[in-house]
Amino acid sequence: MTEQLDRQPFSAAHARNPHPAYAWLREHSPVRRMVLPSGTPVWLVTRYSEARQALSDPRLSKDDRRRAELAAVRFPDPIGARMNHHMLNADPPDHTRMRRLVSAAFTARRVESLRPRIQEITDQLLDQVAGAGEVDLIDAFAFPLPIQVICELLGVPLDDRDDFRAWSNTIVAGTQSGDRLYPAAVALTGYIGELIGRKRAQPADDLLSALIEVRDGGDRLTEDELSSMVFLLLVAGHETTVNLIGNGVHALLTHPAELARARAEPGLLAAAIEEFLRYEGPVETSTIRVTTEPVEIADVTVPENEIVLISLLGANRDPSRFPDADRLDLGREASQHVAFGHGIHYCLGAPLARLEGQIAIGSLLARFPEWELAAPADQLAWRPGILLRGLESLPLRLH
């Protein structure tokens, strides 16, 4: 077991069911040095208490310059600067400044105002799958819903969504995309640059126009920060919700008693979304952090200038925090999960993801009284890469 974990911590076999490996690590080696498939050495944190500590520890830097020096995957400027100079890759005071500027445009009022439109898009998509017999829920519903929402929110033409999906999937998969990775990054950053140029010439009532114009006194986003923030919002703004919907439906399908419970008790929906996020969250690991000095985590001293990864899946199945953690329980108090991170880098888009998840899964439950997997559960393919946790497809019969 130990040798297998060291050699292939994020292999294809691991992707099918990573939880036994994380359970072993939590018990025997909650802070462990490993080598990723890219060849990058990292320290992997898997227990809940240590994960919360690491996610909020200022000695674990998110500064992109530190990351770029150590990570195996790095894009030369100007591509790297156009993708990576955003608040997720920054420490205070830069992080504080960028998050303040973006938050001014990405307000709670703007998110809540999307509720009727999200419901309308959901209903339209479900109309299209009704009577279709067998559908791939990812392609037919879980992907088009959040991509249409984020495109409309930012003011991005929906006709470009298929190209964007291909670029995004390639970039998120990292080194496992092989020689397709760099061309996808070039294509996506070029596309974002064109979008920004068009919005400058013809601003509209959308988030991208607001990001171009937003100011805090004399401060505003630089060109690289603006491009990187659009990249982050486009990718993170749909990828996590695709997986939240797909993983949530998959969890219900493989737990018939909880599916029946969800139908019988619609009031559980908000709690159910939190349990889906805890049980099989949309993000497997945090983005990387780099130690600025030796840091002690769980009696292990991680040296200075080392990469630290936090397993959000591992932390959320920690039985010391969530009793009987491997059991799906829609009535569980799961709100302290770390699926959206913790600390100053807590996901800015979490309210939007929760809203989309509630509308999507709630509407599926209300619209279709019977769900049935159209393929054996153990034959479903999970997406490659160390960052995201989601299905490539979910064949489903909706009656």
pLDDT, one tens digit per residue, over 167-215 is: 888 888 776 677 888 899 999 999 999 999 999 999 998 888 988 888 7
Residues 6+ apart with CB under 8 A from 347: 236, 240, 340, 341, 353
Residues 274 and 309: their CA atoms lie apart, in Å, by 23
Q: pLDDT-derived band of residue 340, with 50, 70 and 90 as boundaries?
A: very high
Which is nearest to 211 in space by CA: 222, 202, 201? 222
Q: pLDDT-derived band of residue 4, with 50, 70 and 90 as boundaries?
A: very low
The single-letter code of the amino acid at 138 is I
Give the residue ranges of DSSP H helices in 94-160. Answer: 94-105, 108-112, 115-129, 137, 144-154
The single-letter code of the amino acid at 96 is T
Percentage of the chain surpassing pLDDT 90? 64
Q: pLDDT-derived band of residue 39, with 50, 70 and 90 as boundaries?
A: confident
> Domain 2-398 - what CATH class?
mainly alpha
Q: pLDDT-derived band of residue 5, with 50, 70 and 90 as boundaries?
A: very low
Q: pLDDT-derived band of residue 6, with 50, 70 and 90 as boundaries?
A: very low
Q: What value does the mean pLDDT of the chain take?
A: 90
The pLDDT value given to residue 177: 73
The pLDDT value given to residue 384: 81
Q: pLDDT-derived band of residue 113, with 50, 70 and 90 as boundaries?
A: confident
The single-letter code of the amino acid at 145 is L
Which one has a higher pLDDT value, 82 or 169? Answer: 82
pLDDT of 23 > 90? The answer is yes
pLDDT tens sequence across 286-338: 999 999 999 999 999 999 999 999 999 999 999 999 999 999 999 999 999 99
Which one has a higher pLDDT value, 158 or 116? Answer: 116
Q: DSSP code of 288?
A: P
Partners of 291 in the β-ladder: 60
Which is nearest to 34 in space by CA: 299, 384, 288, 296? 288
pLDDT tens sequence across 238-267: 889 999 999 999 999 999 999 999 999 999
Q: DSSP code of 42?
A: E
The pLDDT value given to residue 74: 66
> Directed axis angle between helix 350-367 and helix 269-279, to 10°?
110
How distant, in Å, are the alpha carbons of 49, 68, 180, 289, 367 from that of 55?
10, 19, 31, 9, 39
pTM for the whole structure = 0.92
Residue owning tokens 């105002």: 113
